């Protein structure tokens, strides 16, 4: 019986090890391109099981008045804070979640130097005390400040670049690690598929008659969190806050009723749309905590096409994309991307799955 179960997992790619691939470290993009829309774009056809190489600035050639693009308009806030203990020891904290005013859950580095009641000094007007150390390594910090710490982050916070970008953040990261349509602060990571868009590309899409809709999903720590289980059926992605307005839902449902193609920009947008989609394939508006985890066997109810960056080996995002497009197609396309020296991850190139 155990052998049959193992065979089932192997044949349907339910094991996280199935989503591994060889990626030379030099292909991990450390800097953004000087021009956003000059990224390379691999275009996949799910119907034909084929792909071709192109550039992102040609995206409008693939979309018409029969398409609806859905953007995640969340905005990254400066969630990375550098401070020191009273001894002078340097401490870095990465804000994850606001529990209540001036009380935050955070990652801390080096964790061994921070214990309960440790005080961190960020500037003469801002300190924080560690009020709890959790079993998962996270800390709860209470900020001592005249006002709300969120109002001070633009001055003392730094861009929360992903851990695979091995450099300090620069002034240009303030706008480059942000989509041109970002509006609502709340994310600790950018919805990176949207980083390629420029006003010029958006204008060309508008001229093509493409409908553009915005929703909001605040990207949380789950985007970095590794999959810690062998069998994907036991994995769950950390919940993230999301809102789809009645106006956005109405446009999306009208488009679906008129057989238009729904093009999600990024895995965050995909996750939100699928969470809010009913069994009948319609979107319900509202505000909710999205806890959907896409694993092999999931049937997509609303999203028809997807623009996404290239994701980490053995990551939940790679699992989602493989489930959407087909395991063999995606893994072969990734091998092609490595051979052709595509740029990977947040500041890297992208893939359009049609």
Per-residue pLDDT at 176: 97
Per-residue pLDDT at 222: 77
pLDDT at residue 116 is higher than 60: yes
- What CATH number matches the domain at 80-158, 2.60.420.10, 3.40.50.1100, 3.40.50.300, 2.40.10.240? 2.40.10.240
- pLDDT, one tens digit per residue, over 42-85 is 999 999 999 999 999 999 999 999 999 999 999 999 999 999 99
Per-residue pLDDT at 226: 86
> What is the band of 240 on the pLDDT scale with cuts at 50, 70, 90?
very high
Per-residue pLDDT at 135: 80
pLDDT at residue 1 is higher than 80: no
Residue with tokens 């839902």: 249
In the chain, which segments carry CATH 3.40.1780.10?
18-76+173-353
- 16, 54, 56, 66 from 61: Cα distances, Å: 36, 11, 10, 13
Per-residue pLDDT at 302: 98
- pLDDT, one tens digit per residue, over 160-212 is 999 899 999 999 999 999 999 999 999 999 999 999 999 999 999 999 999 99
> What is the band of 137 on the pLDDT scale with cuts at 50, 70, 90?
confident
CA proximity to 94, closest of 23, 30, 163: 163
pLDDT at residue 277 is higher than 70: yes
Per-residue pLDDT at 221: 83
- pLDDT, one tens digit per residue, over 283-296 is 999 999 999 999 99
What is the spatial distance between Cα 84 and Cα 81, in angstroms, rounded to a whole number?
10
pLDDT at residue 11 is higher than 70: no
In the chain, which segments carry CATH 2.40.10.240?
80-158
Per-residue pLDDT at 136: 79
pLDDT at residue 3 is higher than 70: no
| Averaged pLDDT of the chain | 94
- CATH superfamily label, 18-76+173-353: QueA-like (3.40.1780.10)
Per-residue pLDDT at 87: 94
- Token digits for 76? 């990254």
What is the spatial distance between Cα 41 and Cα 14, in angstroms, rounded to a whole number?
28
């Amino acid at each position: 019986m155990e052998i049959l179960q193992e065979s089932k997992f192997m044949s349907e790619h339910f094991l996280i090890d199935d989503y591994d691939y060889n990626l030379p470290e030099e292909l991990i993009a450390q800097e953004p391109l000087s021009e956003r829309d000059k990224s390379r774009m691999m275009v996949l056809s799910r119907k034909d099981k084929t792909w071709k190489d192109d550039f992102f600035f040609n995206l409008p050639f693939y979309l018409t008045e029969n398409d609806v693009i859905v953007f995640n308009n969340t905005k990254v806030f400066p969630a990375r804070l550098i401070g020191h203990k009273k001894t002078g020891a340097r401490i870095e904290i990465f804000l994850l979640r606001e529990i209540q005013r001036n009380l935050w859950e955070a990652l801390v580095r080096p964790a061994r130097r921070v214990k309960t009641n440790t005080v961190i000094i960020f500037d003469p007007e801002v300190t924080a005390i560690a009020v709890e150390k959790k079993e998962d390594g996270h800390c709860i910090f209470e900020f001592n400040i005249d006002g709300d710490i969120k109002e001070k982050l633009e001055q003392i916070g730094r861009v929360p670049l992903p851990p695979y970008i091995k450099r300090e953040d620069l002034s240009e990261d303030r706008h480059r690690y942000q989509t041109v349509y970002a509006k609502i602060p709340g994310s600790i990571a950018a919805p990176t598929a949207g980083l390629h868009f420029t006003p010029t590309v958006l204008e060309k899409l508008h001229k093509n008659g493409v409908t553009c809709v915005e929703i909001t999903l605040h990207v949380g720590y789950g985007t970095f969190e590794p999959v810690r289980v062998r069998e994907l059926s036991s994995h769950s992605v950390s919940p993230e806050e999301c809102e789809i307005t009645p106006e956005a839902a109405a446009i999306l449902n009208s488009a679906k009723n008129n057989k238009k193609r729904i093009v999600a920009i990024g895995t965050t947008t995909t996750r939100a749309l699928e969470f809010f989609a009913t069994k009948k394939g319609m979107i319900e508006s509202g505000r909710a905590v999205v806890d959907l985890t896409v694993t092999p066997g999931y049937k997509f109810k609303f999203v028809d096409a997807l623009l996404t960056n290239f994701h980490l080996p053995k990551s939940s995002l790679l699992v989602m994309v493989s489930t959407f497009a087909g395991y063999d197609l995606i893994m072969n396309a990734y091998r092609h991307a490595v051979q052709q020296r595509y740029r990977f991850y947040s500041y890297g190139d992208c893939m359009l799955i049609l």
